[in-house]
Structure 1
Amino acid sequence: MAKLTGMSRTICGAACGILAAAIVASGAGAAPPTAHQASAVTIAQPAAALPAVPGPVKVATAKLPALLTTQANLNLRTGSSTRTRIIITIPKGTSVKVQARASSGWYKVTYKSRTGWASGQYLAAGKPVKSGPKLPSIPLAHQNRGPNKTSRVVLTYDDCPRTLSSFKSVINYAGKSNIGLVLAPTGDCLVSFKRRYGVDLAALARSKGQWVINHSANHVDLRRLSCTQGARELRGTGVRTNYGRPPYGAINSNVRCAYARADMKIWTWTHDTLDWMVRSKQTTVARAGAARRGDTVLMHMQWEGFTPDSIRQIRNRLSDSGIGLCRAYHGKDGRGAVAKTPVYLPSSLPC
């Protein structure tokens, strides 16, 4: 990610990252997916522009196996690319019937009478790869939407603001405009601002009716850590609360175990603007403004979506479609002036 102005550190813009073809990677220490394998929640490297949409699929003619087994929770998609729509998520260890294979290594498979494409990286003829302790599965929709159970859109911002003044201008505007944002600063960001300005960004945001969640201490890929190491990272210098967002949106069973041990629930996103990639205010506003009812929109505090004017434009675009933004917190009774948000988020945000 690019160096942030006014700060001596570099924030990985891929937290900006996008959902991988496999939501759960196959084991600790596995290399992150490449940019060509990335999707709405996996790691992708910053680029000047969006990659081109894949052309027609070339189907391999070699003899195909009749069945393959998923080595991780795997997305079944409408096309042989992570830029295509997800049909359903196939659980790890499931045998699927093979219909065809693309030259890119993707397989056309059938699962529960649904046919689509799945990444061959997480399909094999053998038994599924073990990747940590077995945990209860969490429905993807619950993980992505988090505690937003309303029809309103939640704008969320990861990482770290460029300056203290830019941060203050956004939270002041949001509070006065009755907009409730969700901020996910990293621990090293919080430490940096406390050391330089004596300001607690999390506490400042909460004082303006904004919600704050954990985004790890140092923005490391938690999949590379054990459950114990991951929990230690989550309990480090980062935000202390009950919801968190894994860096890059990268999740495997060790990551789920770490969040469970840290007593946090995972909240990713349903709508990614890729603001870190395009670095365009106009494009970011247009993408965020195209969100659907109940969406959790991913953006970042160091890019163009994190300004009062960008948020104003996003709200106006959504309003034109009859969709509202999550409202600022007004206390447990929902009445009166904007109030300080609690450290622990309720199971359902009062949007």
Structure 2
Amino acid sequence: MTKETKDHFLTRRRTLITGLAALGAAGTAGLFSLRSTDTPTTPTTPATSALGAPGPQARLPQKPSAYRLQPITGHTAPRPARARPPVRTEPLLSMDDMGHTMVLTFDDGPDPRYTPDILDTLAAYDVPAMFFVCGEMAAENRGLLERMADAGHVIGNHTWSHPLLTRLDRAAIRAEMESTCEVVEKAVGEWPRWFRAPYGAWNRAAFQLGAEFGMEPLAWTVDTLDWMEPGTRTIVDRVHEGAGPGVVVLSHDAGGDRSQSVRALRDYLPQLLDAGYHLTVPRRRPV
């Protein structure tokens, strides 16, 4: 290899690494704008994510009872880089009382055993939330998607079969995203505007394809780890301990026995409201 060829190779490699770091900023970084008088607390670092057995072939519905999550060892969400996300250049929300604003999110559904109870609790307190749905679950429960949309909740894309995207090629990632977008569109009349990678495992292709489909990426700052079924009290305590300015809470309404998640929401939601928190959802500004 000549010196010129080697220099060219190293330059291309550095450019690729820089690009990957820049895309990492498209998680929760920049979700809210802070006033100069705000004093945000330090967000909780996302805990170890989860990894399940390989999902079925795309577009084949999977029984909720068979959809289980298992721990993925040593994986953490990427750190935000100091760069502007590729889809937007301004914060999604601007609020005067940032210190009392939080977002509740639920992944992996909808599941007819647990999602209706979560929707009932949110309706009782007139609180909107975000639901990142898996296409294979949504295809079997389109009525629940309609209910989410009618209640003002935000429906996000969580892929079709919940795979680890970093192990898929670009074509497979596209199929996982696009098939779920199509199911959501058939149910509520529009494609989802938000995307969350399963296990928080992002890569360059996931960011790029999400932007191509017109979706914003969204991670989280507080992981309740409810998929591990640690007990209702533990889930409630994790939400209270992590509550803070601009916090995005991760919970699940499918993927296993989510009765603890249902009971925990009934407990911590009114307590957060009594403590003065404003629970809302981000709305992307018109382009």
Match of 1:61 in 2: none
Q: Do 2:156 and 2:192's aligned partners in 1 also have CA atoms closer than 8 Å?
A: yes
Match of 1:153 in 2: 102
Q: Return structure 1 stretches of 4+ with deviation > 6 angstroms.
A: none
1:347 to 264, 268, 284: 284
Question: Over residues 39-67 of structure 1, what are the superposed CA-to-partner deviations in whole Å (9 max), with x where a residue is unaligned?
Answer: 3x3xxxxxxxxxxxxxxxxxxxxxxxxxx
**RMSD of aligned Cα (Å):** 3.3
Match of 2:222 in 1: 271
Match of 1:219 in 2: 162
Match of 1:190 in 2: 138
Separation in 1 of the partners of 2:228 and 2:94? 29
Q: Do 1:285 and 1:305's aligned partners in 2 also have CA atoms closer than 8 Å?
A: no
Separation in 1 of the partners of 2:133 and 2:279? 21
Q: Matched residue of 2:85: which SS? A: coil
Query: Structure 2 vs 1, CA of residues 270 and 148 (structure 1 numbering), >3 Å: closer, same or farther?
Result: farther
1:260 to 211, 219, 244: 211
Separation in 2 of the partners of 1:276 and 1:237? 22
TM-score of the superposition, structure 2-length normalised?
0.62
Q: Matched residue of 2:132: which SS? A: strand
Number of aligned pairs? 209
Separation in 2 of the partners of 1:154 and 1:227? 30
Separation in 2 of the partners of 1:306 and 1:181? 14
Does residue 323 (structure 1) correspond to residue 277 (structure 2)? The answer is: yes
Q: Do 1:171 and 1:210's aligned partners in 2 also have CA atoms closer than 8 Å?
A: no
Specify which structure has the bigger relative contact order, considering alpha-carbon pairs within 8 angstroms and separated by 6 or more residues: 2
Equivalences for residues 238-253 of structure 1 within 5 A: 238=181, 239=184, 240-253=191-204
Separation in 1 of the partners of 2:267 and 2:214? 36
Give the letter aligned to residue 108 of structure 2.
D
Give the letter aligned to residue 234 of structure 2.
T
Q: Matched residue of 1:38: which SS? A: coil
Question: Over residues 276-305 of structure 1, what are the superposed CA-to-partner deviations in whole Å (9 max), with x where a residue is unaligned?
Answer: 124311111111123212111001003245
2:145 to 183, 202, 210: 202
Does residue 299 (structure 1) correspond to residue 239 (structure 2)? The answer is: no
Separation in 1 of the partners of 2:172 and 2:279? 36
Does residue 172 (structure 1) correspond to residue 120 (structure 2)? The answer is: yes
Match of 1:59 in 2: none
**What is the deviation of 1:209?**
2.2
Query: Structure 2 vs 1, CA of residues 161 and 315 (structure 1 numbering), >3 Å: closer, same or farther?
Result: same
Separation in 1 of the partners of 2:84 and 2:201? 16
State the identity %.
24
Q: Matched residue of 2:211: which SS? A: helix
Separation in 1 of the partners of 2:81 and 2:172? 28
Q: Do 2:135 and 2:180's aligned partners in 1 also have CA atoms closer than 8 Å?
A: yes
Separation in 2 of the partners of 1:147 and 1:301? 25
Q: Do 1:275 and 1:304's aligned partners in 2 also have CA atoms closer than 8 Å?
A: no
Q: Matched residue of 1:192: which SS? A: coil
**What is the deviation of 1:169?**
2.6
Q: Do 2:102 and 2:244's aligned partners in 1 also have CA atoms closer than 8 Å?
A: yes
Query: Structure 2 vs 1, CA of residues 250 and 149 (structure 1 numbering), >3 Å: closer, same or farther?
Result: farther
Q: Matched residue of 2:175: which SS? A: helix
Give the letter aligned to residue 216 of structure 2.
K
**What is the deviation of 1:165?**
5.1
- Unpaired runs of 5+ residues, structure 1, are 18-33, 42-73, 76-88, 92-135, 194-198, 328-344
**What is the deviation of 1:242?**
1.4
- Unpaired runs of 5+ residues, structure 2, are 1-51, 54-61, 185-190
Match of 1:11 in 2: 67
**What is the deviation of 1:156?**
0.6
